[in-house]
Amino acid sequence: MDSSLSSPPILVLVIPCYNEEEVLPETIKRLTTIFDNLIEKNKIAYTSKILFVDDGSRDRTWEIIEENNKTNTFVHGLKLAKNAGHQNALLAGLNHAKEFSDCVISIDADLQDDLNVIEEFIEKFKEGYDVVYGVRKSRSTDTFFKRSTAQGFYRLMNSMGVNVVYNHADYRLMSKRVLHHLSEFREVNLFLRGLIPLIGFKSTEVYYDRNERFAGESKYPLKKMLAFAFDGITSFSVTPIRLISGIGFLMFLFSFVIAIYILVNKFIGNTTSGWSSLMISIWFIGGLQLVALGLIGEYIGKIYKEVKARPKYIIEKNTVHLSQKNKQTE
Ligand code: UDP
Ligand code: MG
């Protein structure tokens, strides 16, 4: 860990907000109390900040942020020119915050996540963890529908080989160096929950209870939720493409079985003329086409990976310093 961290770390909370005028005053009030308390206990630096990212809200969200910025030294804001979506708003905040923080915690504006575990996040950071995932103890406050779809989603992701932390949303602490590496991932379709585990470094989990939304409505209606899940899967896995090749191959094999069945029928005189050749062709060509489509898909999948240009590895420690290298060449 950084030697500079013997003094309390500078913490920046990053909070994306979309039409959150109803909860924002309360969120600011509660966070200010938490910050005052943590500073008093010498857990975080007094220069720590709360960075709100206004994701193109159409209500008074930005006005509330600006007003509070004048009177509250913790409160700062970024205003996006238009609604860019939760993940992009979050990334904007993270990219900005890494310039003036030791660690960052991302959290939603609606006070659903338990603010009291922030202290535990910081403790873990001081113990040397670069990523601390906030994990929900239970999903009892969710509707049956949200609970079962979420569970199905995690299962599907894991079965496709994507590493996501179960029951963890975007409430997490990240060290400055994790944020630095995150900015090396230049993909347009962002799914931070999948990217952070991909970066690596030492990580741990902290468990908490999630409450109901303090006020206002969810900004994630079913349509957005499905789009998010679909984005998550297609950004991380080529399994859907493989599925096409697989089905095609099975169909292709099956066409031989069908051919035998049809020919037997033909020889016992059980068919109308033209039917046998037509059926065999349909199954054979259908299977062949799907195999070909899957094959093209494989190449597109490869191109997709290349285009994303994700870092191939991330170095955690290095004992060779520039001055040593210079000495050797002298
Ligand atoms: N949010 C955002 N941009 C959007 C949608 C949501 O910045 O386009 C923010 C929102 O203000 C909140 C967080 O993302 O702070 C999570 O949204 P929400 O609480 O509505 O989602 P839910 O908890 O219902 O899944
Ligand atoms: Mg919420």
Residue range 16-58, pLDDT digits in tens: 999 999 999 999 999 999 999 999 999 999 999 999 999 999 9
- Ligand 1: does its nearest atom lie under 6 Å from the Cβ of 211? no
The per-residue pLDDT for 226 is 86
Q: Locate the ligand 1 atom nearest the alpha carbon of residue 19 and give its number.
A: 11
- Nearest residue by C-alpha to atom 12 in ligand 1: 108
- Ligand 1: does its nearest atom lie under 6 Å from the Cβ of 54? no
Q: Which strands sit side by side in the sheet containing 11-17, from one edge to the other?
A: 75-79, 49-54, 11-17, 103-106, 168-175, 131-136, 203-208
Instruction: Find out whether 214 and 110 touch, Cβ atoms under 8 Å.
Output: yes
pLDDT per position as a tens digit, 155-169 = 888 888 788 888 898
- Ligand 1: does its nearest atom lie under 6 Å from the Cβ of 55? yes
Threshold 0.90, pTM exceeds: no
Q: Report percent pLDDT > 70 for the chain.
A: 96
Q: Band the pLDDT of 1: cuts 50, 70, 90.
A: very low
The per-residue pLDDT for 10 is 96
Within 13 A of 120's CA, how many CA atoms are on the CB side? 15
- Ligand 1: does its nearest atom lie under 6 Å from the Cβ of 170? no
Instruction: Find out whether 190 and 232 touch, Cβ atoms under 8 Å.
Output: no
The per-residue pLDDT for 238 is 83
Q: How far is the CA of 209 from the centre of ligand 2 (A)?
A: 13
pLDDT per position as a tens digit, 84-141 = 999 999 999 999 999 999 999 999 999 889 999 999 999 999 999 999 999 998 777 7
- Ligand 1: does its nearest atom lie under 6 Å from the Cβ of 18? yes
CA 179/CA 184 separation, integer angstroms? 9
Instruction: Find out whether 198 and 178 touch, Cβ atoms under 8 Å.
Output: no
ipTM for the predicted complex comes to 0.96
Q: How far is the CA of 218 from the centre of ligand 1 (A)?
A: 7
- For every residue of 194-233, DSSP letters joined together read HHHHHH-S-EEEEEE-----SSS--S--HHHHHHHHHHHH
Q: How far is the CA of 228 from the centre of ligand 2 (A)?
A: 15
pLDDT per position as a tens digit, 203-245 = 999 999 888 878 888 888 788 888 888 888 888 888 888 888 8
**Is 329's pLDDT higher than 60?**
no
Q: How far is the CA of 218 from the centre of ligand 2 (A)?
A: 6
The per-residue pLDDT for 252 is 85
- Ligand 1: does its nearest atom lie under 6 Å from the Cβ of 219? yes
Q: How far is the CA of 108 from the centre of ligand 2 (A)?
A: 6
Q: How far is the CA of 92 from the centre of ligand 2 (A)?
A: 19
Q: Band the pLDDT of 287: cuts 50, 70, 90.
A: confident
Q: Locate the ligand 1 atom nearest the alpha carbon of residue 84 and give its number.
A: 8
If 0-12 CB within 10 Å is exposed, 13-18 middle and 19+ buried, where does residue 328 land?
A: exposed
- Ligand 1: does its nearest atom lie under 6 Å from the Cβ of 136? no
